[in-house]
Copies of this chain bind each other. A is one copy, B any other.
Amino acid sequence: MATGRPKKRYHHGGLREALIEAAEQELAEKGIEGFTLRGVAKRAGVSHAAPAHHFRDTGELLTALAAVGAQRFLSGMTEREAAAGDDPRGRFVATGRAYIEFALANPALFELMFGSKRPDFDEPIYTTPASQSFRVLVDGIAALRGDDPLTSREGRAAVMSAWSLVHGFASLVIAGRVRFIREDFEADPTGTIERLIAPVVPRPEEKR
Protein backbone atom coordinates (compact mmCIF):
# COMPACT_ATOMS: atom_id res chain seq x y z
CA MET A 1 0.00 0.00 0.00
CA ALA A 2 1.34 3.36 -0.97
CA THR A 3 1.46 6.47 1.17
CA GLY A 4 -1.49 6.85 3.52
CA ARG A 5 -3.50 9.96 2.98
CA PRO A 6 -1.63 13.03 4.15
CA LYS A 7 -3.77 13.44 7.23
CA LYS A 8 -1.37 14.20 10.02
CA ARG A 9 1.26 16.39 8.44
CA TYR A 10 2.79 18.68 11.00
CA HIS A 11 2.75 21.58 8.58
CA HIS A 12 -0.62 22.28 7.08
CA GLY A 13 0.45 23.89 3.84
CA GLY A 14 -2.35 26.34 3.16
CA LEU A 15 -3.48 27.06 6.67
CA ARG A 16 -4.16 30.74 6.11
CA GLU A 17 -6.81 30.08 3.48
CA ALA A 18 -8.15 27.10 5.42
CA LEU A 19 -8.61 29.34 8.46
CA ILE A 20 -10.57 31.90 6.46
CA GLU A 21 -12.83 29.14 5.15
CA ALA A 22 -13.26 27.70 8.63
CA ALA A 23 -13.98 31.18 9.96
CA GLU A 24 -16.76 31.64 7.45
CA GLN A 25 -18.35 28.38 8.58
CA GLU A 26 -17.96 29.31 12.24
CA LEU A 27 -19.49 32.71 11.57
CA ALA A 28 -22.40 31.26 9.60
CA GLU A 29 -23.19 28.71 12.32
CA LYS A 30 -22.57 30.71 15.49
CA GLY A 31 -23.07 34.26 14.31
CA ILE A 32 -20.72 37.10 15.15
CA GLU A 33 -21.67 36.95 18.81
CA GLY A 34 -20.82 33.27 19.12
CA PHE A 35 -17.72 33.38 16.96
CA THR A 36 -14.67 31.81 18.57
CA LEU A 37 -11.07 31.70 17.41
CA ARG A 38 -10.53 28.36 19.11
CA GLY A 39 -13.57 27.04 17.31
CA VAL A 40 -12.08 28.13 14.00
CA ALA A 41 -8.80 26.41 14.82
CA LYS A 42 -10.66 23.22 15.69
CA ARG A 43 -12.58 23.31 12.41
CA ALA A 44 -9.30 23.64 10.54
CA GLY A 45 -7.92 20.68 12.49
CA VAL A 46 -5.15 22.64 14.10
CA SER A 47 -4.15 23.65 17.63
CA HIS A 48 -5.69 26.66 19.31
CA ALA A 49 -2.59 28.83 18.93
CA ALA A 50 -1.83 28.03 15.31
CA PRO A 51 -3.83 30.95 13.88
CA ALA A 52 -1.47 33.38 15.60
CA HIS A 53 1.18 32.59 12.98
CA HIS A 54 -1.11 33.89 10.23
CA PHE A 55 -3.26 36.53 11.96
CA ARG A 56 -2.08 38.84 14.72
CA ASP A 57 -5.37 38.45 16.56
CA THR A 58 -9.03 37.60 16.03
CA GLY A 59 -9.75 41.02 14.60
CA GLU A 60 -7.25 40.49 11.82
CA LEU A 61 -8.87 37.20 10.84
CA LEU A 62 -12.27 38.87 10.84
CA THR A 63 -10.84 41.66 8.69
CA ALA A 64 -9.69 39.11 6.15
CA LEU A 65 -13.10 37.47 6.24
CA ALA A 66 -14.90 40.78 5.79
CA ALA A 67 -12.65 41.47 2.82
CA VAL A 68 -13.63 38.14 1.25
CA GLY A 69 -17.24 39.08 1.78
CA ALA A 70 -16.76 42.53 0.26
CA GLN A 71 -15.16 41.00 -2.81
CA ARG A 72 -18.00 38.50 -3.25
CA PHE A 73 -20.50 41.30 -2.66
CA LEU A 74 -18.92 43.41 -5.38
CA SER A 75 -18.79 40.49 -7.82
CA GLY A 76 -22.45 39.75 -7.35
CA MET A 77 -23.44 43.32 -8.08
CA THR A 78 -21.25 43.84 -11.13
CA GLU A 79 -22.27 40.50 -12.65
CA ARG A 80 -25.95 41.24 -12.19
CA GLU A 81 -25.49 44.71 -13.57
CA ALA A 82 -23.70 43.45 -16.66
CA ALA A 83 -26.38 40.83 -17.27
CA ALA A 84 -29.11 43.45 -17.05
CA GLY A 85 -28.46 45.02 -20.42
CA ASP A 86 -28.30 48.69 -21.31
CA ASP A 87 -31.29 50.32 -19.67
CA PRO A 88 -29.99 52.43 -16.75
CA ARG A 89 -33.03 51.72 -14.65
CA GLY A 90 -32.85 47.97 -15.28
CA ARG A 91 -29.16 47.97 -14.44
CA PHE A 92 -29.73 49.88 -11.24
CA VAL A 93 -32.55 47.65 -10.08
CA ALA A 94 -30.35 44.64 -10.78
CA THR A 95 -27.59 45.93 -8.50
CA GLY A 96 -30.10 46.65 -5.76
CA ARG A 97 -31.45 43.17 -6.07
CA ALA A 98 -27.93 41.74 -5.95
CA TYR A 99 -27.32 43.74 -2.75
CA ILE A 100 -30.37 42.24 -1.07
CA GLU A 101 -29.75 38.73 -2.29
CA PHE A 102 -26.16 38.77 -1.09
CA ALA A 103 -27.33 39.87 2.33
CA LEU A 104 -30.00 37.18 2.58
CA ALA A 105 -27.68 34.47 1.28
CA ASN A 106 -24.82 35.45 3.62
CA PRO A 107 -26.52 37.00 6.64
CA ALA A 108 -23.71 36.54 9.12
CA LEU A 109 -21.12 37.80 6.67
CA PHE A 110 -23.31 40.78 5.91
CA GLU A 111 -23.63 41.49 9.63
CA LEU A 112 -19.86 41.27 9.99
CA MET A 113 -19.34 43.71 7.14
CA PHE A 114 -21.85 46.33 8.26
CA GLY A 115 -22.81 45.70 11.87
CA SER A 116 -19.65 44.69 13.67
CA LYS A 117 -16.80 46.77 15.04
CA ARG A 118 -14.31 43.93 15.30
CA PRO A 119 -12.78 43.97 11.82
CA ASP A 120 -10.55 46.89 10.82
CA PHE A 121 -12.52 48.53 8.03
CA ASP A 122 -9.65 50.85 7.16
CA GLU A 123 -7.53 48.01 5.80
CA PRO A 124 -7.05 48.29 2.03
CA ILE A 125 -8.04 44.65 1.50
CA TYR A 126 -11.48 45.73 2.70
CA THR A 127 -11.70 49.32 1.52
CA THR A 128 -10.72 48.47 -2.05
CA PRO A 129 -13.70 46.25 -2.94
CA ALA A 130 -15.96 48.31 -0.66
CA SER A 131 -15.13 51.53 -2.50
CA GLN A 132 -15.73 49.82 -5.81
CA SER A 133 -19.17 48.73 -4.63
CA PHE A 134 -19.89 52.30 -3.65
CA ARG A 135 -18.79 53.37 -7.11
CA VAL A 136 -21.30 50.98 -8.67
CA LEU A 137 -24.03 52.65 -6.64
CA VAL A 138 -22.95 56.19 -7.45
CA ASP A 139 -22.50 55.45 -11.15
CA GLY A 140 -25.92 53.86 -11.28
CA ILE A 141 -27.51 56.98 -9.81
CA ALA A 142 -25.45 59.15 -12.13
CA ALA A 143 -26.77 57.27 -15.16
CA LEU A 144 -30.32 57.81 -13.94
CA ARG A 145 -29.88 61.48 -13.12
CA GLY A 146 -27.51 62.54 -15.84
CA ASP A 147 -25.09 64.26 -13.48
CA ASP A 148 -22.56 63.49 -10.76
CA PRO A 149 -24.76 63.06 -7.69
CA LEU A 150 -21.92 63.62 -5.20
CA THR A 151 -21.59 67.28 -6.17
CA SER A 152 -24.96 68.40 -4.81
CA ARG A 153 -26.90 67.87 -1.63
CA GLU A 154 -29.85 66.62 -3.65
CA GLY A 155 -27.63 64.13 -5.43
CA ARG A 156 -26.03 62.89 -2.24
CA ALA A 157 -29.47 62.51 -0.71
CA ALA A 158 -30.56 60.47 -3.75
CA VAL A 159 -27.56 58.17 -3.33
CA MET A 160 -28.29 57.85 0.34
CA SER A 161 -31.98 57.12 -0.19
CA ALA A 162 -31.28 54.27 -2.55
CA TRP A 163 -28.52 52.78 -0.43
CA SER A 164 -30.53 53.16 2.78
CA LEU A 165 -33.53 51.48 1.21
CA VAL A 166 -31.82 48.26 0.17
CA HIS A 167 -29.59 48.21 3.23
CA GLY A 168 -32.44 48.75 5.63
CA PHE A 169 -34.56 46.13 3.96
CA ALA A 170 -31.78 43.56 4.13
CA SER A 171 -31.00 44.39 7.77
CA LEU A 172 -34.60 44.18 8.90
CA VAL A 173 -35.30 40.92 7.12
CA ILE A 174 -32.11 39.38 8.50
CA ALA A 175 -33.04 40.55 11.99
CA GLY A 176 -36.31 38.67 11.56
CA ARG A 177 -38.42 41.70 12.34
CA VAL A 178 -40.66 41.70 9.26
CA ARG A 179 -42.19 38.31 8.69
CA PHE A 180 -45.07 39.90 6.82
CA ILE A 181 -42.82 41.03 4.00
CA ARG A 182 -40.64 37.95 3.99
CA GLU A 183 -43.65 35.97 2.82
CA ASP A 184 -44.25 38.41 -0.02
CA PHE A 185 -40.58 38.27 -0.87
CA GLU A 186 -40.39 34.50 -1.02
CA ALA A 187 -43.56 34.28 -3.07
CA ASP A 188 -42.41 36.90 -5.57
CA PRO A 189 -38.88 38.21 -5.06
CA THR A 190 -38.68 40.24 -8.25
CA GLY A 191 -42.01 41.95 -7.80
CA THR A 192 -41.39 42.64 -4.14
CA ILE A 193 -38.05 44.28 -4.85
CA GLU A 194 -39.60 46.24 -7.70
CA ARG A 195 -42.34 47.57 -5.45
CA LEU A 196 -39.89 48.21 -2.64
CA ILE A 197 -37.44 50.32 -4.56
CA ALA A 198 -39.95 51.90 -6.92
CA PRO A 199 -39.98 55.13 -4.86
CA VAL A 200 -36.29 55.79 -5.50
CA VAL A 201 -36.19 54.65 -9.14
CA PRO A 202 -39.49 55.67 -10.73
CA ARG A 203 -40.53 53.92 -13.92
CA PRO A 204 -40.06 56.13 -16.98
CA GLU A 205 -43.78 56.72 -17.53
CA GLU A 206 -44.10 57.89 -13.95
CA LYS A 207 -41.25 60.34 -14.15
CA ARG A 208 -41.41 64.08 -14.49
Contacts and interface: CB of A to CB of B under 8 A. Distances in A.
Contacts of A172: 114, 160, 163-164, 167
B175 A156 contact: no
Contact of A161 (B31, B177, B196): B196
Contacts of A178: 160, 163
A156 B171 CA distance: 17
Contacts of A159: 181
Can you tell how many copies of this chain the complex includes?
2
B31 A117 contact: yes
A177 B114 contact: yes
A78 interface: no
Contacts of A181: 156-157, 159-160
Nearest to A178: B160
**Looking at chain A's contact residues, is the secondary structure mostly helix, strand, loop, or mixed?**
helix
A112 to B, nearest CB: 11
Interface in A93-135: 111, 114-118, 121
Task: List the 9 shortest-distance A-B pairs measured between CB atoms, nearest first.
Answer: A168-B168, A164-B168, A157-B195, A167-B168, A164-B169, A199-B199, A115-B115, A199-B200, A160-B181
Interface of A: 31-33, 111, 114-118, 121, 150, 153-154, 156-157, 159-161, 163-169, 171-172, 175-178, 180-181, 184, 188, 191-192, 195-200
10 contacts: A111-B115, A115-B115, A115-B175, A121-B176, A153-B191, A153-B192, A154-B195, A157-B181, A157-B196, A161-B198
